[in-house]
Amino acid sequence: MKKTKALYEGKAKILWETDSPDYMVQEFKNDATAFDGTKHEVIAGKGVLNNRISSHLFGLLKDKGVRTHFIEKISDNEMVVERLEMLRVEVVVRNVAAGSICRRLGIEALKRFDPPIVEFYLKDDDLHDPIITQDHIRIMELATQEQVDQMRSDALTINTVMRGFLEQRDMVLVDYKLEFGLKGDELVLGDEISPDTCRFHDAKTGEIMDKDRFRQDMGGFIEAYTEVLERVSS
């Protein structure tokens, strides 16, 4: 499969058109960003780690019957994915309180949610990806009610699969973001699943193993991502 031209370049990835109309190449960059891109650094090796971690986790979900856009990893920092019409809705699943939910609602950090919380956000950098309700999704025509229901259901299925998998590797799945797209009328999981889009904590020590290390200037960024890769690939 041959790359032809870049279709989209975001903060952490480039999507390339290919000589097949049904497939794209998703290239992972070494850029680390936070706070709507106001904090930015290029970290050698990050793209390779996120590509490998995402490939393993997409493979896990595929084996459990979850429909994703992932086809195969083709290089250290590239994977082939199905071309989707992406929805402008981000789905966040929270098992443990961290990040924005603590700031917005004053919920104590590390409070566990049982059952997990599902939130929807508008994918719009200019508006800083605001939280939205199902009514907002309806009036803005971002997705049908059937699609919203399926996104929520699929997100919770993914949560069950990933939590169980990670618990066996002494990891806590704190929260994560998902993006979905359409292949015809079929809803398909897209984007990536990595420490850039998930919060992972060590189950024994509570050590942070995700992009919060960059956000909070904690150091040990590549070491944490490398540890995640070692555990998810074991």
Averaged pLDDT in 10-residue chunks for the chain of 234 residues: 92 96 97 91 98 98 98 98 98 98 97 98 95 98 98 98 98 98 98 98 98 97 98 96
Q: Tell me what the pLDDT averaged over the chain comes to.
A: 97
**Domain encompassing residue 18:** 3-82
Bridge pairing between strands 85-96 and 13-18: unpaired
Q: Under DSSP, is residue 97 helix (H, G, I), strand (E, B) or coil?
A: coil
Could you tell me the pTM of the whole model? 0.96
pLDDT for 36: 82
Distance CA 203, CA 90 (A): 27
Distance separating the N- and C-terminal Cα atoms of the chain: 29
Same domain, 145 and 189: yes
Count of structural domains, the chain: 2
CA-wise closest residue to 192 among 86, 108, 95: 86
Instruction: Give phi and psi for 130, each to the nearest 5.
Output: -70, 150
pLDDT digits over 19-58, tens only?
Answer: 999 999 999 999 999 988 889 999 999 999 999 999 999 9
Same domain, 33 and 93: no
Same domain, 167 and 67: no
Same domain, 183 and 206: yes
What burial letters (b/e) apply to 31-66, b meaning 16+ CB within 10 Å? bbbbeeeeeeeeeeebbbbbbbbbbbbbbbbeeeeb
Residue 229 belongs to some domain of the structure = no
Same domain, 92 and 163: yes
pLDDT digits over 192-204, tens only?
Answer: 999 999 999 999 9
